[in-house]
Amino acid sequence: MDLRSDFPFWLLDKGILYTYPSLLNDITTDVAIIGAGISGALAAWHLCHAGFKRLN
């Protein structure tokens, strides 16, 4: 395993599950949640229930 990497250890250890392409254009949004931990998941859940729509 290469310990000098740009990726976190857990991604290298368990494998990168998903890859996301870079944005090709600017987008406009009311809310952006940065992070995928429990706090980000709960924030997204509450915002969806408050009427904000999710972008795919």
> What residues does each domain of the chain span?
9-49
Mean pLDDT of 24-47: 87
% of the chain residues with pLDDT over 70: 70
Predicted local distance difference test score (pLDDT) of residue 47? 92
3-class secondary-structure state, position 47: helix
What the block records as the tokens of 8 is 């976190």
Mean pLDDT of 29-37: 84
What the block records as the tokens of 38 is 């429990």
**Residue whose tokens read 């969806």:** 48
Stronger pLDDT, 45 or 53, i.e. the higher one: 45
Band (pLDDT 50/70/90 cuts) for residue 54 is confident
